[in-house]
Structure 1
């Protein structure tokens, strides 16, 4: 198919460009009440030393530093019991059994730290088998081999040693809650942490609660997940651990972390157990994981729970701040919530209004009919219903997600989409639409997306950290571009599907060519600026208002 790019881009230039200037209300005091973080928080702790700039403070004798695993007969039988493995995966189960028996000899039946076990799993001897395991199967094995948490050894957070901007985002969210409520030195802001989007809802509780407390807040965990929600509705609180297996793919959490399990059990048995926790909260922060899983916990059977209804009421009344990271941020939208998928599949096969397929479903034959492991899915009824400006995506630059943003906007007729980069956050006033970008990278915005089965196009804006602006009426109304320092891409690429090629080549659009053309496999990307565009010419990754882009499958 030969594409008439000149005609497409010229038409878009005439119909989509030209952001009207509007005054940002209350510019001196914007009253942020939302924080959207473009990736999950990577909090430096004794359990997550890779996120730390320096690790000499970690003491393995006094702190919890890793998950521990056992290869005893009991634990291996638990991981390999036939009730957990479909009949058609019996040959794989037998190979895993043989692998674990060999590991018994290798580790001499001792207690194995997570890094040693994972390194062995990824060794040449087992790499082929590992490549044939789905993520669900891999997690099932580790969950059942995991030892209970040791009493007296707790995870310790050190926010001051964070390598990236996650510590800044934690501190900014605490300040946001303080400012919204006018809190001074008489008390600390109270933050409720929600981990319901995560597969293992216990795993990151300590890190997030401690991080917010180190930043000056009083933080508490909301012991809710999709298993608790379903258990409450069916009056089956005693079955929470069993429900976790089928609903979130986590196993044996009652045995591994009996303290957190007891908290969930107590919460489940009190019908309105959330009221005290929410009434005391100044802000709620949703961690990452799965937007679909988080939605299922708070919108069971497509009906907002009493808890979510009260959260929305307080948010709309201006008495509750909301934050989210990664897919926890994606879940905050009113409509058309992205739940899964790759730009490649979005462009070629379109957007599917269905529940997302299981991860790696092509490996264990669990893909629903008409879908594959990378199918692009969305929830047309939206997520948690806090934000009404349009579509929201995260980790955009590193994952090349502009294609799936374009596809969903064109399919649903959504006038405005926002994609936030990794290690980047957006502070917002949800009422006025005022925003500020903070962190390391930037935000990609799409307006007026149009498309056919094989071609997508729209106008775009790319704004970087420090930029202030306002969105409203389905468009960027105003933006003040902040000056930027030179950015040298870590590993420049021209690949724009699932990679950072689009961003790595923005400088060509702004400076020399004024038009960019990239090819990847059978896909082509075109971008250009024109007389209506506004540019901030920092080298490496310039900023653009009113550019035009198109992506097509040839």
Structure 2
């Protein structure tokens, strides 16, 4: 593929740059440990309230903005790139898919058969209530809640002799008034529980969802053809198509895809959904039950203790009773050992990681000391051999950050694990384990951290995406400031934010067997495989945008500054010799001399308010917008005319500055 350089935007080199380390000793210690891990792995491979006031928009007349399509740029040479052979498909989450448990995502009149699971089922019965009474899920300081809940559910059981849905259970629970047997109202007890405690209570009251004759476990069924959000359905099909390209090299037409649900608190709950969705998209799909619990069982050679590890690491209880068939599969594979898991992964054409908590997926593929497990090493080797595409959504994307397998990298690429933009701006970033949901309610947040504290793993996640920090649900949750704060704190030059129902496709530039020799023949005799320059190619696809944040040299803790780029479907990029070059789609044209009103909503880093302002700025005749949200002054400015496709999707080049007033 030959590309003209007429419309290129260049981000400065960063691979060999050596920005100063964060002065905190904690980061220095972590980075030292990281270096040791990199060497070993390479050897083995060879709470902030909403801002109440309205934003202030600074009216600045339109000024000349650099247009990349100038004579100077036109003089640049034509770039020749190989056809992309993607290794990663990184989705920003929010895939709204029609299923028997998500009818709202279906087109009208979609139906499922009698074996379709439509909801989890719960039973208020002496047996389940007794299980809850004996459970160890409350801290010593909060243990008085347990007998109160037992009394409440005992009083409710006469009203609900049959299994009910979660929605029905919670409605009955919250409507229950005080009584002699239950001195606390249902609403009071409901409000008193943290998210962690509530999940545990529901686990103990849950019962298997079976067919009317009790012979079959009902499963969540998907209808990809009747999914209302066509972009979400397209992304599943695109992943299968990319996996099929890997399958062809192995002599088969139907790709084998493994689904890893390690990011979930309950890793069994989404198995049926993902297996069905990928089968409907055309794959031979299978669940790979690799989780943090299984990795702990493998390391301690104790697969019989899987229920305990699920409780300890995932906060998930009684799954061996609710999903007996799936649990049996998990335990059987655990007993076969790591070699059996590696063999399954080596034969796969695609592996897909679900959303949830990226820290759980990290624990599924890294040892307790952070070293890569045999499964992660096998994953990296298959990618290097171009035998596998790895996909992820939400947490399954965020966990890919890191450059542990890139020995020439100057600094580690961190993995973001928690936080929102306003907590990040006020409290900064901490290299620490993320607080669990509800820790504030339990008065047990670690190190006096807020539940929304921005936290990160300094040495990175799985290390498959080495260009920068990955963030997801990006525009929809206003995470632009969160990403920039972490970039500044860790001196990470690039950050990538991916919107919902949107994907970043990545070709890491490795050569398939036979191709490397052809490339070497075209180089000088003194060059070797390790010296040949890899070209990493990127592409945006899906409904929303891929946002790239390039930290600027004059940025500081009191004035965050980034050059930003938003790519949409059809836009591509490549990374070579320390430079990332962005190439807008050929059908996009500049937006010039537009005069739409400039509009903004506050708080800016909430919901999709920032993206809305960015788009409004594109369609206005203003060069910049300045928004005051004390103590912060936020300025978004154009660096080039926005480009627009016929379908309205934009490509933007802007600058974001956040300073303390």
Q: Same fold (TM over 0.5)?
A: yes
**2:181 equivalent in structure 1:** none
Deviation of the 1:48 alpha carbon: 2.5
The residue correspondences of 1:172-211 to structure 2 (distance < 5 A) are 172-182=238-248, 186-211=252-277
Deviation of the 1:544 alpha carbon: 4.9
Deviation of the 1:408 alpha carbon: 1.1
After superposition, what is the alpha-carbon deviation per residue over 1:102-133, rounded to whole angstroms, capped at 9, x for unaligned?
A: 432442x2211233224445669744543332
SS state at 1:361 partner: coil
Of 546, 551, 554, the match for 2:658: 551
After superposition, what is the alpha-carbon deviation per residue over 1:509-537, rounded to whole angstroms, capped at 9, x for unaligned?
A: 2222221123445433211114xx24215
Query: In structure 2, what is the Cα distance between the partners aligned to 1:237 and 1:286?
Result: 23
Of 549, 558, 564, the match for 1:446: 549
Deviation of the 1:293 alpha carbon: 0.7
Query: In structure 2, what is the Cα distance between the partners aligned to 1:22 and 1:67?
Result: 60
Q: Say whether the 8 Å CA contact 2:289–2:330 is kept in structure 1.
A: yes
Q: Say whether the 8 Å CA contact 2:342–2:374 is kept in structure 1.
A: no
Q: Say whether the 8 Å CA contact 1:191–1:217 is kept in structure 2.
A: yes
In the alignment, does 2:344 pair up with 1:277?
A: yes
Deviation of the 1:41 alpha carbon: 3.6
Query: In structure 2, what is the Cα distance between the partners aligned to 1:321 and 1:372?
Result: 37
Distance 1:167 1:537, change over 3 A: closer
After superposition, what is the alpha-carbon deviation per residue over 1:140-183, rounded to whole angstroms, capped at 9, x for unaligned?
A: 01111110242423322211111222221110001111224436
Of 248, 255, 266, the match for 2:332: 266
Distance 1:181 1:273, change over 3 A: closer
Of 516, 525, 530, the match for 2:634: 525
**2:532 equivalent in structure 1:** none
In the alignment, does 2:205 pair up with 1:145?
A: yes
Q: Say whether the 8 Å CA contact 1:427–1:437 is kept in structure 2.
A: yes
Of 97, 100, 113, the match for 2:165: 113
Deviation of the 1:253 alpha carbon: 0.3
SS state at 1:362 partner: coil
The residue correspondences of 1:147-162 to structure 2 (distance < 5 A) are 147-150=207-210, 151-152=215-216, 153-162=218-227
Give the TM-score normalised by the residue count of structure 1: 0.89
Of 443, 460, 467, the match for 1:382: 460
The residue correspondences of 1:288-299 to structure 2 (distance < 5 A) are 288-299=355-366
Distance 1:505 1:186, change over 3 A: same
Of 248, 263, 269, the match for 2:314: 248
In the alignment, does 2:102 pair up with 1:48?
A: yes
SS state at 1:232 partner: helix
SS state at 2:431 partner: coil
Query: In structure 1, what is the Cα distance between the partners aligned to 2:79 and 2:236?
Result: 25
Q: Say whether the 8 Å CA contact 2:232–2:501 is kept in structure 1.
A: yes
Q: Tell me the number of residue pairs that the alignment of Structure 1 and Structure 2 aligns.
A: 533
Moved more, 393-402 or 115-124: 115-124
Q: Say whether the 8 Å CA contact 1:69–1:145 is kept in structure 2.
A: yes
Query: In structure 1, what is the Cα distance between the partners aligned to 2:589 and 2:148?
Result: 53
Query: In structure 2, what is the Cα distance between the partners aligned to 1:484 and 1:255?
Result: 58
Query: In structure 2, what is the Cα distance between the partners aligned to 1:389 and 1:214?
Result: 33
**1:513 equivalent in structure 2:** 622
SS state at 2:449 partner: coil
**2:396 equivalent in structure 1:** 328
Q: Say whether the 8 Å CA contact 2:571–2:582 is kept in structure 1.
A: no
CA RMSD of aligned residues (A): 3.0
Query: In structure 1, what is the Cα distance between the partners aligned to 2:205 and 2:309?
Result: 19
Query: In structure 2, what is the Cα distance between the partners aligned to 1:516 and 1:524?
Result: 11
Deviation of the 1:89 alpha carbon: 1.0
Query: In structure 1, what is the Cα distance between the partners aligned to 2:332 and 2:102?
Result: 29
Moved more, 507-516 or 247-256: 507-516
In the alignment, does 2:353 pair up with 1:286?
A: yes
Q: Say whether the 8 Å CA contact 2:92–2:393 is kept in structure 1.
A: yes
Of 348, 360, 363, the match for 2:426: 348
In the alignment, does 2:192 pair up with 1:132?
A: yes
SS state at 2:642 partner: strand
Deviation of the 1:427 alpha carbon: 1.7
Deviation of the 1:539 alpha carbon: 11
Deviation of the 1:545 alpha carbon: 4.2
Q: Say whether the 8 Å CA contact 2:292–2:363 is kept in structure 1.
A: yes
Deviation of the 1:248 alpha carbon: 0.6
Q: Say whether the 8 Å CA contact 2:267–2:291 is kept in structure 1.
A: yes
Moved more, 292-301 or 473-482: 473-482
Distance 1:474 1:202, change over 3 A: farther
After superposition, what is the alpha-carbon deviation per residue over 1:63-92, rounded to whole angstroms, capped at 9, x for unaligned?
A: 222211101122123224362211211343
**1:465 equivalent in structure 2:** 569
**5+ long unaligned stretches in structure 1:** 1-5, 7-12
Q: Say whether the 8 Å CA contact 1:24–1:469 is kept in structure 2.
A: no
Give the TM-score normalised by the residue count of structure 2: 0.75
Query: In structure 1, what is the Cα distance between the partners aligned to 2:126 and 2:243?
Result: 50
**1:169 equivalent in structure 2:** 235
After superposition, what is the alpha-carbon deviation per residue over 1:308-351, rounded to whole angstroms, capped at 9, x for unaligned?
A: 10110110121111111101011112230001111112111111
SS state at 2:486 partner: helix
Query: In structure 2, what is the Cα distance between the partners aligned to 1:332 and 1:137?
Result: 30
After superposition, what is the alpha-carbon deviation per residue over 1:393-431, rounded to whole angstroms, capped at 9, x for unaligned?
A: 000111111111101111111111110001111222122
**1:239 equivalent in structure 2:** 305
Moved more, 186-195 or 83-92: 83-92
Of 439, 447, 450, the match for 1:369: 447
Q: Say whether the 8 Å CA contact 1:52–1:161 is kept in structure 2.
A: yes
Q: Say whether the 8 Å CA contact 1:416–1:474 is kept in structure 2.
A: no
Query: In structure 2, what is the Cα distance between the partners aligned to 1:521 and 1:129?
Result: 37
Deviation of the 1:192 alpha carbon: 1.1
Distance 1:82 1:57, change over 3 A: closer
SS state at 2:143 partner: helix
SS state at 2:396 partner: helix
Query: In structure 1, what is the Cα distance between the partners aligned to 2:460 and 2:78?
Result: 30
After superposition, what is the alpha-carbon deviation per residue over 1:475-509, rounded to whole angstroms, capped at 9, x for unaligned?
A: 541221454999x9xx9833222321111112342
Distance 1:53 1:232, change over 3 A: same
**2:606 equivalent in structure 1:** 498
Distance 1:23 1:292, change over 3 A: farther
Query: In structure 1, what is the Cα distance between the partners aligned to 2:351 and 2:647?
Result: 36
Distance 1:460 1:200, change over 3 A: same
Query: In structure 2, what is the Cα distance between the partners aligned to 1:399 and 1:390?
Result: 20
**2:526 equivalent in structure 1:** none
